[in-house]
Structure 1
Amino acid sequence: MDLPKLAIAALGGTVSMQSLQSGEGVVPSVSGEALLNTVPELKTLAQLTVETLGLLPGASLDFEYLLSVLCWANFQINQGAAGVIIVQGTDTLEESATFFDYLWDHDEPLVLTGAMRSAAQAGADGPANLLDAGRVALAQSSRGRGAQVVIHGQIHRANAVRKVDSMALHAFASPVTGPAGVLMEGVVRYLQPSVARQVLPLPQTTNQTIALLEASLSADSLLLENVVELGYDGLVIAGFGAGHVSAHWAKVIETIARHIPVIIATRTGCGSTARSTYGFEGSEIDLQRKGAVMAGFTCPRKARILLWLLVGCRQQEHLASYLDQTG
């Protein structure tokens, strides 16, 4: 019986890092092929195609680079791959997963993983995460679920997962919903059913820019006031609590919303923005009247990705409906 085909792209990140000089910090240097050699069991599960598409820290990835990775992944599916794995840095793992999920139009799984410990550290978690990612990518129950993050024995939906700790091994969680599934004794077990997804077309432009600003106590509005003049095509505000800003910021936002789309999210890290609870100036009711759109459960960083894609494919008028799908 022929083994299924599995494609793996290595982009870099902690999983690929080791120190090149004694006393210096670790840097990306381990190829995908070398990483795969640390997981011999994976070779017994599938016919593997492994390519090192880059050796970059997660913080240096950008949207155009991810579009090239998506092109590679689409090609692998068209060549008969049963699933695709992307290995990258965890600093931007939740954002990359969201980016891919909005554009992944295949039933075949797209699985992202990485590591919190470098390849040189004792107890490096990269090999275990890669093996788990392979099991999830090959599981029939993973089909139709879009892009997912597999790490630390858990499976997370792209739109739910967040990095919640800077350096801990258990750095990822899905606030509110919990993980979509787990791996137990090497078996993929989903705890949640798959959900309907609406995939965006590829962006026609990639030069659009979306600003992300965070509300904070007694914050000035100098940057906010200049967002339109600086040429931004959209704005996301990480607001207080359930999606609030100061009365002064609210006045500025009203002017901005006449020119570009404005999303108000919550900076809290968990929960949804409100829609009809608070009525003071700068509250969610006030901001919606001023032309802003509430993000719901979508975090500020993921709201920025959605708006960048919508502007790029000229569908920003559908912004509210896409945000409704995620909360």
Structure 2
Amino acid sequence: MDLPKLAIAALGGTVSMQARNAGEGVIPTVSGETLLACVPELATLARVSVETLGLLPSASLSFEVLLSVLSWAKYQVEQGARGVVITQGTDTLEETAVFFDYLWDCDEPLVLTGAMRSAKQAGADGPANLLDACRVALADSSRQRGVQVVMNGQIHQADCVRKTDSLALQAFSSPVFGPAGLLVEGVVRYSRPPAERRCLPLPQHTTQKVALLEASLSADTLLLENILKLGYDGLVIAGFGAGHVSASWAEVIEQLAEKIPVIVATRTGSGSTAQATYGFIGSEMDLVRKGAHMAGFLCPRKARVLLWLLLGGERQHELARYLTT
């Protein structure tokens, strides 16, 4: 039987970590090839090629690195891969996933996975997550779904998934919407059809800077007032509740919105910003009047990724189109 081709890239993260000496903290040391050897069943599912593109904790990944990984992934599809799997650290997994999703215009699946337990820890979840991710990448039902995250037997859409626990195995969830699918006895099962996607072209430049600030009780405006002087080209606010800030912040945001794009998201971790409920100074209605954009269901971190990509393609005028969900 002619098996399909599957490409895997390893970037590092907990899935690749172990301690060199007893008593030391774990660090990325396990290559993609070594990780693949822990999942012999894959050889019965596909002709697998694996490359170790990096051994980094995911906090040290950059947009420039991700663009090079994206180029690698698209090349694999051009060479006949039915799907592509990327392993990386979980700390920035939700941001990496949505970064790729905005740029992934292939029908073939791009699937991200990682681990919550290091490679040498009892009950390490990396091999199982990798096997599940490969099954998702190979499934015909995964086509035209863009980028997905597979962790702990669940399949999450890139725009919905969030890391909601620091250490637990069930660290990833999709608030409000739930997972897009599950793996049941090794079979990929989706609970809903593919959603309409809007892909962006590759950014023309990568030097743009987007700040992310969180609103908090009795916070001063010093950082806000200096955003432009510090050279930022865009700003995302993790606002209170349904997308609110203090009256003093609202005043500065009005001034900033005349010069740079400003997005206000919710810091709550679940739910959408409002559009037409609250009318006080600093409310969503007030901020919209002042020129800010409300993020809807997009969390602050993903809103920052979106704005960075739009600025890089000089398409910030299309921002509202990508904040309609």
Same fold by TM-score greater than 0.5: yes
CA distance in 2, matches of 1:37, 1:160: 31
Q: Structure 1: which amino acid aligns with 2:188?
A: V
Tell me the alpha carbon deviations over residues 169-211 of structure 1, each in whole angstroms, 9 at most, x when there is no partner: 0000000000000000000000111011111000000000000
- Matches for 1:246-285 after TM superposition, within 5 Å: 246-285=246-285
Shift of 1:229: 1.2
Shift of 1:43: 1.2
Q: Secondary structure at the residue paired with 2:201?
A: coil
Shift of 1:223: 0.5
Q: How does the TM-score come out when normalised to structure 1?
A: 0.99
Q: Secondary structure at the residue paired with 2:202?
A: coil
CA distance in 1, matches of 2:279, 2:74: 47
CA distance in 1, matches of 2:206, 2:253: 25
Q: Structure 2: which amino acid aligns with 1:90?
A: T
- Matches for 1:1-327 after TM superposition, within 5 Å: 1-324=1-324, 327=325
CA distance in 2, matches of 1:36, 1:208: 37
RMSD across aligned positions (CA)? 0.4
Q: Structure 1: which amino acid aligns with 2:20?
A: L
Q: Structure 1: which amino acid aligns with 2:198?
A: Q
CA distance in 2, matches of 1:52, 1:167: 25
Tell me the alpha carbon deviations over residues 198-233 of structure 1, each in whole angstroms, 9 at most, x when there is no partner: 110000000000000000000011001000111100
Q: Structure 2: which amino acid aligns with 1:107?
A: D
Shift of 1:65: 0.2
Tell me the alpha carbon deviations over residues 95-129 of structure 1, each in whole angstroms, 9 at most, x when there is no partner: 00000000001000000000000001000000000
Q: Secondary structure at the residue paired with 1:137?
A: helix
Shift of 1:40: 0.2
Superposition misfits of 4+ residues, deviation over 2 angstroms: none
Q: How does the TM-score come out when normalised to structure 2?
A: 1.00
Shift of 1:50: 0.1
Shift of 1:300: 0.1
Q: Structure 2: which amino acid aligns with 1:161?
A: V
Q: Structure 2: which amino acid aligns with 1:299?
A: C
Shift of 1:37: 0.3
Shift of 1:22: 1.6
Q: Secondary structure at the residue paired with 1:91?
A: coil
CA distance in 2, matches of 1:323, 1:60: 28
Q: Structure 1: which amino acid aligns with 2:135?
A: R
Q: Structure 1: which amino acid aligns with 2:86?
A: I
Q: Secondary structure at the residue paired with 2:84?
A: strand
Q: Structure 2: which amino acid aligns with 1:244?
A: H
Q: Secondary structure at the residue paired with 1:49?
A: strand
Tell me the alpha carbon deviations over residues 40-90 of structure 1, each in whole angstroms, 9 at most, x when there is no partner: 001110001100000000100010000000000011000000000000000
Q: Structure 1: which amino acid aligns with 2:254?
A: E
Q: Secondary structure at the residue paired with 2:179?
A: coil
5+ long unaligned stretches in structure 1: none
Q: Structure 1: which amino acid aligns with 2:116?
A: M
What is the aligned length? 325
Tell me the alpha carbon deviations over residues 27-46 of structure 1, each in whole angstroms, 9 at most, x when there is no partner: 00000000000000011100
